[in-house]
């Protein structure tokens, strides 16, 4: 650092164990004026305002003899604190403030100022991402830090429910797992850890439901983690809308359940009415959208669009096509592939992607449907 023009100050950590020792050490090393007050506000003033701002002003506001700014790039002014040993996550949690941008990397924490204009949402759509989750969650019944997991909490409103949450990788969003009934703490921890690691994939994304594949946990049959956006889960919509806006609902899932293309309305219905995300002993709920009309049973879907159906309903309607002339079942799997089966003249004909038509028995049709929605 010194070879590039920087100045290095060394401190003995053993001499910085108390607040006053910190103030004395910084005052001596940076040669603060005698009027230095020896408190945190006073420390910020000479260190970051006086030293940094004056240095930037002198470096970047220099002019030539005609009074014009020197024709050269601006010089960045910054402080670098190096430690032999430190926990970047703990440091980041300590220094986060609304007027600071905190970035955690591999072995470092970067902090920079943000202007008041930059703090304001551009169009009212963005929420403050530096919420103090300790304070936001403090009013929940029995809330306490989750042992062994950084920036994580657990609470229970009644014996029926257990809620667990952890901060995202950027520490600006809350990842929450709600469990109804028996709570498997190991599974919940695994879901949160997996979700935190993968959170850059869904935080701020447009998807209302997100599928995170590759999840594994010993003793569990789940193979993915599902994520519901704030408007879909509504966990804190009534009590704390600001908290709700930065909260993502996580739940153990199966890869056959989510496409990632669900609209907000579809995601709301899947999450709240079909998937049962709060139950850790649930079975898979395959993604299948269908519309149908059966001339024999006189049952049919309403509207012209395909809607979500349970797999049992879908399989049953495929079987009921037999002998029902003029009937059809049209379905869509999670990959967006659309099939259509029709019965006419004693034959079942299936139209696949690309327009290929194939005759098959009803048993073959049901097997095709099963394999299609479980792929």
Residue 120: the pLDDT is: 39
Average the pLDDT over 36-64 and give the result.
Answer: 55
Average the pLDDT over 328-347 and give the result.
Answer: 95
Residue 31: the pLDDT is: 72
The alpha carbon torsion through 100, 205, 216, 170 (nearest 10 deg) reads 0
User: Which positions ≥6 away from 123 have C-beta within 8 Å?
Assistant: none
The pTM score is 0.66
CA–chain centroid gap for 287, Å, is 22
Mean pLDDT is lowest, of 52-56, 70-74, 125-129, 143-147, for 125-129
Domain spans of the chain? Answer: 2-119, 133-274, 289-373
pLDDT at residue 355 tops 90? no
Are 290 and 329 a contacting pair, CB within 8 Å? yes
Question: What is the tens place of the pLDDT at every residue in 293-318?
Answer: 999 999 999 888 999 999 999 999 99
Strands 247-253 and 174-180, sheet pairing: parallel
Are 280 and 252 a contacting pair, CB within 8 Å? yes
The CA distance from 167 to 208, in Å, is: 19
Residue 368: the pLDDT is: 96
Please list the residues that pair with 331 across neighbouring strands: 290, 339
Residue 117: the pLDDT is: 44
pLDDT at residue 278 tops 50? yes
pLDDT at residue 372 tops 80? yes
Helix (H) or strand (E) holding 233: helix 230-233
Residue 72: the pLDDT is: 55
Residue 34: the pLDDT is: 67
- Return the structure tokens found at 113: 């100022």
DSSP string for residues in 350-363 = EE-GGG-EEE--HH
Average the pLDDT over 138-166 and give the result.
Answer: 93
| Average pLDDT over the chain, rounded to an integer | 82
Average the pLDDT over 307-331 and give the result.
Answer: 96
In which band, very low, low, confident or very high, does the pLDDT at 207 lie, cut at 50, 70 and 90?
A: very high
3-state secondary structure of 204: coil
Residue 287: the pLDDT is: 97
Are 226 and 210 a contacting pair, CB within 8 Å? yes
3-state secondary structure of 69: strand
Sequence-ordered strand ranges (E) for the chain: 100-105, 108-113, 144-145, 152-158, 161-167, 174-180, 209-213, 224-228, 247-253, 289-293, 307-308, 327-332, 338-344, 347-351, 357-359
The CA distance from 94 to 109, in Å, is: 11
Residue 26: the pLDDT is: 76
pLDDT at residue 27 tops 50? yes
Are 148 and 137 a contacting pair, CB within 8 Å? no
- Return the structure tokens found at 188: 């919940």
Stronger pLDDT, 127 or 169, i.e. the higher one: 169
Average the pLDDT over 31-42 and give the result.
Answer: 65
Question: What is the tens place of the pLDDT at every residue in 229-264?
Answer: 999 999 999 889 999 999 999 999 999 999 999 999
DSSP string for residues in 42-63 = HHHIIIIIIIIIHHHHHHHS-B
């Amino acid at each position: 650092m010194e070879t590039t023009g920087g100045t290095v100050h060394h401190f003995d950590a053993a001499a910085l164990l108390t607040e006053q020792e910190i103030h004395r050490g910084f005052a001596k090393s940076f040669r603060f004026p005698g009027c230095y007050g020896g408190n945190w506000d006073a420390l910020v003033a000479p260190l970051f305002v006086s030293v940094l701002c004056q240095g930037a002003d002198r470096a970047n506001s220099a002019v030539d003899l005609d009074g014009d700014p020197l024709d050269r790039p601006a010089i960045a002014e910054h402080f670098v604190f190096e430690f032999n040993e430190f926990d970047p996550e703990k440091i980041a949690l300590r220094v986060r403030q609304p007027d600071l941008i905190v970035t955690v990397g591999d072995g470092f924490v970067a902090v920079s100022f943000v202007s008041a204009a930059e703090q304001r949402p551009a169009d009212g759509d963005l929420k403050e991402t530096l919420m103090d989750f300790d304070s936001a969650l403090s009013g929940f019944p029995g809330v306490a830090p989750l042992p062994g997991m950084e920036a994580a909490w657990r609470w229970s409103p009644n014996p029926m429910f257990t809620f667990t949450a952890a901060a995202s990788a950027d520490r600006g969003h809350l990842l929450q797992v709600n469990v109804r009934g028996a709570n498997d703490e190991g599974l919940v921890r695994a879901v949160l850890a997996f979700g935190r690691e993968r959170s850059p994939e869904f935080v701020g994304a447009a998807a209302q439901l997100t599928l995170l594949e590759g999840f594994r946990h010993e003793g569990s049959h789940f193979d993915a983690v599902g994520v519901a956006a704030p408007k879909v889960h509504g966990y804190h919509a009534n009590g704390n809308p600001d908290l709700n806006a930065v909260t993502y609902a996580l739940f153990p899932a199966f890869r056959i359940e989510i496409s990632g293309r669900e609209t907000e309305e579809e995601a709301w219905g899947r999450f709240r009415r079909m998937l049962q995300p709060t139950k850790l002993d649930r079975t898979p709920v395959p993604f299948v959208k269908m519309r149908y009309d059966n001339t024999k049973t006189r049952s049919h879907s309403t509207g012209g669009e395909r809607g979500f159906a349970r797999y049992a309903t879908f399989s049953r309607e495929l079987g009921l096509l037999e002998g029902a002339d003029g009937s059809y079942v049209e379905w869509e799997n999670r990959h967006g592939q659309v099939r259509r089966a029709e019965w006419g003249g004693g034959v079942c004909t299936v139209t696949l992607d690309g327009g290929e038509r194939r005759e098959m028995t009803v048993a073959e049709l049901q097997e095709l449907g099963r394999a299609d929605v479980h792929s």
